[in-house]
Amino acid sequence: MTPQAPGHTRLRVTRAGIDTYQQPVVYMHRDCEVCRSEGFAAMTRVRLDVGTRTLVATLNVVVDDRLGLDEVALSEVAWTLLDPMSGAMAGIRHAQPAASAGALRAKVFGAKLDDAQYLALVQDVMESRLSDLELAAFVTASAGDRLDHAETTALTRAMIFVGQRLDWGEGPVLDKHCVGGLPGNRTTPIVVAIVAALGYRIPKTSSRAITSPAGTADTMEVMAPVALDLPAMRRVVEREGGCIVWGGNVRLSPADDILIRVQRPLDFDSDGQLVASVLSKKIAAGSTHVLIDMPVGPTAKVRGEAAAHSLTTRLAHTAGALGLQLGIHRSDGTQPVGRGIGPALEAHDVLKVLRNAADAPADLRERALTLSAALLDMAPGSSAGTGLERARSVLDSGAALAKFLAICEAQGGFREPPRAAFTADVPAKASGRIAEIDNRRLAKLAKLAGAPTSPTAGLETGLRVGDAVERGQPLMTLHAESAGELAYALEHAAALQPFVLAEIP
């Protein structure tokens, strides 16, 4: 049992009402007795004991009278983790150095770590014992190819160990994942509907957008609730065979979410951390057979064949070491998929494909069928090469649509995606033929229009490499929820120029 802190180190707990994302932060007045006695300064790592709960957090110091001398204010995530009762008091002291500090220092200097060291690191990540500076050091030390195959497997295993793990009983549990970098590539809802309609289990946990204009969870959320807890997720899968829920609410491999928070602003590519991120979540979700969609292109996440080969080898090695059946499908990553980029716009594309609409984007339909076929062919007992015919049959018949709507109802109810209040075309400044499309610039424009924070925002374009355009012809249509956001995106559209035109011979 943790001993009670002396009275002079105990402060009244209040709620700061400040969102610090996943980093626990506490606020104390610089003149309070605890700060002065303990020698606390801004950015000090402190330990809080509130009732039976303990938290290590980063201190921010308040210099005016908005906080009392007898108070400690908690950021939103710190408040959630400690869950204090009304009138609670906190014992506060210097935090002890993290148990994994030696392993972290060794990794920074280029050492290879073993299973026990990675487990200690990940446990300290989960318990907030590592500051963001220390996490950034770990991410940097692991960037590029600095994790070998054994370390990648050790990190993956540790990330699985510290989170929850689902068990669906006997039989195969299918899943698919795209490594990302391709705007509009929203195949997951279609694949889940097709596979579940054929009687397979496919419990899909998906992410929200971090740096992209839409994640699968964002797109799905405009059609049905996705913030389900584990019991609700299990009920949906038991009833319909599949689900599409937000992974952040079910806390599968939660350490990964913390590492991603630090990794994204640094924009460091690390095959080892990518593999650990993807496979830890799939194994934690109870998946037995997983298909990885790997778009390859100069402005996709995987930019060339050498990078694709390296990532494929690492994925296969780690999956094999952990007993996961893995398939990898390399796809064209040179241009966007579908017409819409942004949550609601991508949802409209998904529904058109499921409804077999005459104007459904053909590339999205064919990608979804190809991925469904590959996943079905992986399932135990399947006849090799029959997946495409089976997938096309349930899509053409409307069975996939019926299953998708049933999944939506089981998750809380289906709703038609809304449309943005403001739109504007971006015209071509010259005539020519499209030689290249920059996926990253398209994604940035959709974000400048307000996606994904504004669900209906983003852009639409049906143009592809090789298409001819005339001067003044719309290259794309921007969608926004306010006139100001639309004007902001339009102002940047000319400078970004995601379409590279060449002269028509």
User: For 364-384, what is each residue's pLDDT tens digit?
Assistant: 999 999 999 999 999 998 888
Asked whether residue 141 falls in the same domain as residue 198, the answer is no
CA distances from 148 to 145, 154, 495 (A): 7, 10, 41
Q: Counting beta carbons within 10 angstroms of the beta carbon of residue 425, is it exposed (0 to 12), middle (13 to 18) or buried (19 or more)?
A: middle
User: 304-333 burial string, b = 16+ CB within 10 Å, else e?
Assistant: eeebbeebbebbbbbbebbebbbbbbebeb
pLDDT in tens, 214-239: 999 999 999 999 999 999 999 999 99
CA angle 189, 359, 179 (to 5 degrees): 35
pLDDT, position 248: 78
Q: Is the pLDDT of residue 71 over 70?
A: yes
> pLDDT by residue (tens digit) across 139-165?
999 988 899 999 999 999 999 999 888
259 belongs to a structural domain: no
State whether 372 and 495 are in the same domain.
no
Closest CA relative to residue 92, chosen from 7, 20, 23, 15: 7
At 32, give phi and psi (nearest 5°): -70, 155
Per mean pLDDT, which range of 92-101, 132-141, 256-265, 361-370 is the poorest?
256-265
Residues 289 and 181 in one domain: yes
Q: Is residue 401 part of a domain?
A: yes
Assess whether 464 and 345 both reside in one domain. Answer: no
Within a domain: 417: no
CATH number reported for the structural domain that contains residue 438 in this entry:
3.90.1170.30
> pLDDT band at residue 70, thresholds of 50, 70 and 90?
very high
**215 and 107 in one domain?**
no
Supply the CATH number for residue 304's domain. Answer: 3.40.1030.10
> Of 411, 438, 463, which residue is a domain's last?
411
Nearest Cα to Cα of residue 484 among 417, 424, 418: 424
State in Å, rounded, how far the first CA of the chain is from the last one.
80
Q: Is residue 166 part of a domain?
A: no
Confidence grade of residue 2 (pLDDT, cut at 50, 70, 90): very low
Burial of 176 by CB count in 10 Å (0-12 exposed, 13-18 middle, 19+ buried)? buried
Go through 237-254 and write b for each residue having 16 or more CB atoms within 10 A of its CB, e for each that does not. Answer: beebbbbbbbbbbbebbb
371: Cβ–Cβ under 8 A, 6 or more apart, which residues?
Answer: 176, 187, 191, 291, 293, 329
| 115 and 232 together in one domain | no
Helix (H, G, I), strand (E, B) or coil at 398: coil
pLDDT band, residue 8 (cuts 50/70/90): low
Give residue-wise pLDDT tens across range 297-347: 999 999 999 999 999 999 999 999 999 999 999 999 999 999 999 999 999
φ/ψ of 18, rounded to 5, equals -120, 130
Do both 372 and 458 map to the same domain? no
Q: 416 lies in a domain?
A: no
Distance (Å, rounded) from C-alpha 389 to C-alpha 372?
10
Q: Do 119 and 84 fall into the same domain?
A: no
Place 3 in a pLDDT band, splitting at 50, 70 and 90.
very low
**3-state secondary structure at position 15:** strand
> Do 149 and 178 belong together in one domain?
no
499-502 sheet: strands from edge to edge = 468-469, 432-437, 499-502
CATH (domain of 24): 2.40.40.20
Average pLDDT of 460-484? 96
Domain edge (last residue) among 411, 442, 473 = 411
Query: DSSP letters along 198-243, please?
Result: TT-BEEEEEPPPSSSS--HHHHHHTTS-----HHHHHHHHHHHSEE
**Domain hosting residue 43, numbered range:** 7-94
Query: CA-CA distance, 385 to 86, in Å (whole number)?
Result: 62
Task: Judge contact between 446 and 183, C-beta under 8 A.
Answer: yes
Is the peptide bond preceding residue 343 cis, with omega within 30 degrees of 0?
Answer: no
Clarify whether residues 215 and 146 are in a common domain. Answer: no
* 446 and 383 inside one domain: no
Which of 384, 411, 438 is the endpoint of a domain?
A: 411
> How confident is the model at residue 156, as a pLDDT?
96
Distance CA 194, CA 394 (A): 6
Residues known to be catalytic: 269
What are the pLDDT digits (tens) for 171-183? 999 999 999 889 9
Lookup: tokens for 190: 């279609």
What torsion do the CA atoms of 70, 75, 79, 84 make, to the nearest 10 degrees? Answer: 10
Candidates 124, 115, 125, 187; CA nearest to 154 is 115
Count of domains in the chain?
4
Please state, in angstroms and as integers, the Cα–Cα distance from residue 242 to each residue in 44, 164, 286, following that order. Answer: 46, 19, 13
The predicted pLDDT at position 4 comes to 46
| CATH code, domain carrying 145 | 1.20.970.10
Per DSSP, helices labelled H in 129-214 are 132-141, 149-161, 188-197
Mode of pairing for the β-strands spanning 432-437 and 468-469: antiparallel
- Same domain flag for 402 and 300: yes
Tell me: pLDDT of 5 over 60: no
